[in-house]
C-alpha cells in the first residue's frame, strides 16, 4: 500500500463510503480504485486527483497534503544516477535490492535521515 492509498482508504472509512460508491462517483471501476489504494497502480492522473479532492470536498492544507502524498506514492520508482557519484549508484542499487528486507524501524531511520537533509 502506498502513502496515498492508505490516506485515501482512511478518508473513505472516515466518511463511511464504500469503494463501489466512490468508484461510481469518480467514474472509475472498483477494481481500479482498489488497485490505487493497494499501490498496484501508479499515482492518479491530475484529473482524477482533482475529482477525488472534489469528492471529499478537500481544500487548502488537506488538499495540498493529498496532492503531496500522490506525488510520493508511485510504487514503481526509477532512480537515475547517471552523472552522480559511484556511491550514489551503489546506494540506489543497494536500496533497490534490500528495501523489502528492511524493518519498519530501519525504514523510519532512513526516512529521518532524508528528512533531516531537507532542514539544512
State the fold for domain 3-71.
Answer: 434 Repressor (Amino-terminal Domain) (1.10.260)
Residue (of 93, 52, 94) closest to 69 by Cα position: 52
Domain regions of the chain by residue span: 3-71, 86-118
Measure Cα distances from 54 to 13, 18, 34 in Å.
17, 17, 19
How does pLDDT run across 45-54, given as a tens digit for each residue?
999 999 999 9
pLDDT band at 120; cut points 50, 70, 90: low
How does pLDDT run across 101-110, given as a tens digit for each residue?
999 999 999 9
Residue 31: alpha-carbon gap to chain centroid:
18
Cell numbers 480504485 correspond to 33
Amino acid at each position: 500500500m502506498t502513502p496515498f492509498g492508505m490516506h485515501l482508504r482512511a478518508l473513505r472509512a472516515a466518511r463511511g463510503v464504500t469503494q463501489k460508491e466512490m468508484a461510481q462517483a469518480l467514474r472509475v471501476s472498483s477494481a481500479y480504485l482498489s488497485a490505487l489504494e493497494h499501490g498496484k497502480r501508479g499515482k492518479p492522473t491530475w484529473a482524477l486527483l482533482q475529482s477525488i479532492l472534489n469528492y471529499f470536498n478537500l481544500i487548502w492544507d488537506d488538499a495540498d497534503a493529498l496532492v503531496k502524498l500522490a506525488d510520493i506514492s508511485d510504487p514503481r520508482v526509477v532512480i537515475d544516477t547517471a552523472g552522480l557519484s559511484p556511491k550514489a549508484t551503489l546506494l540506489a542499487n543497494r536500496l533497490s535490492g534490500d528495501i523489502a528486507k528492511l524493518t519498519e524501524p530501519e525504514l523510519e531511520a532512513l526516512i529521518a535521515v532524508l528528512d533531516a537533509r531537507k532542514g539544512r
